[in-house]
Amino acid sequence: MFKGIIFDLDGVICFTDKYHYQAWKKLADRLGIYFDEKINNRLRGVSRMDCLDIVLEKSTKQYSYDEKEALATEKNETYKNLLQEMGPNDLPEEVKNTLDELRKRGYKLAIGSSSKNTRMILNRLGLGDYFDAISDGNNISKSKPDPEVFLKAAEFIGEKPEDCLVVEDAEAGIEAAFRGGFASAGLGEARNHKEVTYKLGEFKDLLDIN
Ligand code: G6P
Ligand code: MG
C-alpha cells in the first residue's frame, strides 16, 4: 500500500529526550526560570528557537533576538556534549531489525526530523548512510506542525504524500502528517491525536501495517 516510510528521529529511532531535557533544564536553571518535565513534553517535534520561546514563557525578562540566538546556541552546546555519550548501543535492536525488514520488503526509508543535529545523531547510532533521504531542521523554514519537513522528505525519495507513511511520537508530528496529506503511525503520546491513522504499541508493530 505504501511506497515510502518517513521516520521522525527523536523518540522514534532513538531516545534523545532526556538529553534535550537536561540541556534545557541547565539553561533554565542558570536563568532562574522554572522548567519541568511537563513543559519539556511540549518541546517534542518543535524547532530549537520555538522551544526557547516556550522555555522563556515563564521568564519575566524580555530577550532580544540576538540574546535568544545566544541562549539557543548555549543550549545546543550542552546538548551536543551530552550526545557524546551516545553510540551504536543506543539504537534499539527492535528498531534496527524492523528497519531492516521494512527495507527487505521494498519500502524507501527516509527521516523527517526538526532537528539540526540529525546527521550527527545518525552517525553516532551507526546509521549515517542507512536512509534513502534525510529531511531535517537544516532544509526547512517552518517546523512541525507545519508539514514542510515531511513534504520535503517525500520529494527527496520521489514519492507522493499519499504513498508515504509518517511515523511519529509527537502530536505536533501527527498534525504535520495530517496537514501534508500523509497517513501516520503514532507511538506514545502521538497515539492520542485525533487524526492518527495507526496506533502503535511498539515500533515493530509497523510490520503489521501493509
Ligand atoms: C526534535 C525534538 C525537539 C527538538 C527539535 C530540534 O524535533 O523532538 O525536541 O527541539 O528536534 O532539535 P535541535 O537538535 O535542532 O535543537
Ligand atoms: Mg519525536
Q: Nine-digit cell at 51? A: 522551544
CA distance 61 to 137: 28
Q: pLDDT value at position 191? A: 96
Cis? peptide before 145, omega within 30° of 0: yes
Please state the φ and ψ torsions of residue 7, each to the nearest 5 degrees.
-105, 130
pLDDT classification of 107: cutoffs 50, 70, 90:
very high
Distance from the alpha carbon of residue 48 to the mean position of ligand 1, in angstroms: 6
Distance from the alpha carbon of residue 168 to the mean position of ligand 2, in angstroms: 6
Summarised one tens digit per residue, pLDDT across range 147-203 is: 999 999 999 999 999 999 999 999 999 999 999 999 999 999 999 999 999 999 999
- For residue 210, give the nearest of 177, 191, 185 by alpha carbon: 185
| Ligand showing the shortest atom-to-Cα distance for residue 74 | 1
With H, G, I as helix, E, B as strand and everything else as coil, classify residue 202.
coil
pLDDT classification of 208: cutoffs 50, 70, 90:
very high
Contact between 102 and 207 (Cβ < 8 Å)? yes
**Does residue 116 line the site of ligand 1, with CB under 6 A?**
yes
pTM: 0.96
Active site amino acids: 8, 10
**Does residue 188 line the site of ligand 1, with CB under 6 A?**
no
**Does residue 44 line the site of ligand 1, with CB under 6 A?**
yes
Buried/exposed 41-55: b ≥16 CB within 10 Å, e otherwise: ebbbbbbbebbbeeb
- Say which amino acid occupies 178: F
- For residue 186, give the nearest of 3, 8, 4 by alpha carbon: 8
- Residue closest via CA to ligand 1's atom 14 equals 115
- Residue closest via CA to ligand 1's atom 13 equals 115
**What residues sit around ligand 2, an ion, with C-beta below 5 angstroms?**
8, 10-11, 169-170
Q: pLDDT value at position 178? A: 98
Q: Share the mean pLDDT of the chain.
A: 96
169 by Cβ neighbours in 10 Å (0-12 / 13-18 / 19+) ranks as buried
pLDDT classification of 46: cutoffs 50, 70, 90:
very high
Q: How many CB atoms lie within 10 A of CB 64?
A: 8
- For residue 148, give the nearest of 164, 157, 160, 137 by alpha carbon: 137
With H, G, I as helix, E, B as strand and everything else as coil, classify residue 166.
strand
Q: How many CB atoms lie within 10 A of CB 81?
A: 12
pLDDT classification of 24: cutoffs 50, 70, 90:
very high
